[in-house]
Chains A and B, each alone.
Chain A
């Protein structure tokens, strides 16, 4: 059972555009929602994360929007650049207990063209 659904699978935008990647989760016990960026040959790197007590969080050009009632969250990349071309993964976890673990979405391959 896939607990975190991510869309789209791939995305092509022009430089300066605002790609939006969406995720939906099922487990209401999740209370931590990070986004990861992965370049080929590298491990995922944490971009930005949000908890359900806020509806939006911004760090630089990256913004997470969170809708608790709909159990959805999304990543927006402002003024996208060719260097943002990578695969993006959303994830979710529970912080309660000692064995919190990340459940990942299926990933979105982003290409930013000139």
Chain B
């Protein structure tokens, strides 16, 4: 399965600021997925990122709040913009390799 490196592993941020999360995969993949996991909750898909095109966002998530970049087939970033305490969550990237979905270890974000 793919190896995913996600940075930072955790951060504490002031409300109103933005944080960019990086996801690096050890091999080329077509699609990368960004999930949010609120404390003690399940995983919710934020968006799907294809290289060379705009990300596709799920209902309830918008590009202005969660801009995503996908500059090549091994890397993506998710930015959490204008943060509020409600954005405190774990953010995870994932890739699908022959339907063996692999997740990064996540970024634990706390907004104060």
Contacts and interface: CB of A to CB of B under 8 A. Distances in A.
A29 B106 CA distance: 29
> Which interface class (under 10, 10 to 19, 20 to 34, 35 or more) fits A?
20 to 34
Interface in B84-112: 92, 94, 96, 99-106, 108
Contacts of A32: 99
Contact of B48 (A42, A49, A95, A101): A101
Q: Does more than half of chain A's interface fall in helix, strand or loop, or is it mixed?
A: loop
B1 interface: yes
Interface in A39-56: 41-46, 49
A89 to B, nearest CB: 6
A89 B101 contact: no
Interface string A61-100: 0000000000000000000000000000100010100111
B57 to A, nearest CB: 12
A7 interface: no
B42 A106 contact: yes
B30 A46 contact: no
Contacts of B102: 46
A42 B45 CA distance: 17
A18 B1 CA distance: 28
Contacts of A30: none
Contacts of B100: 46, 49
A95 B56 CA distance: 17
Nearest to A105: B42
B103 A44 contact: yes
B19 interface: no
Nearest to A99: B48
15 contacts: A36-B103, A42-B106, A43-B94, A43-B103, A44-B43, A49-B100, A93-B99, A95-B99, A99-B31, A101-B48, A102-B33, A102-B94, A102-B101, A106-B41, A107-B41
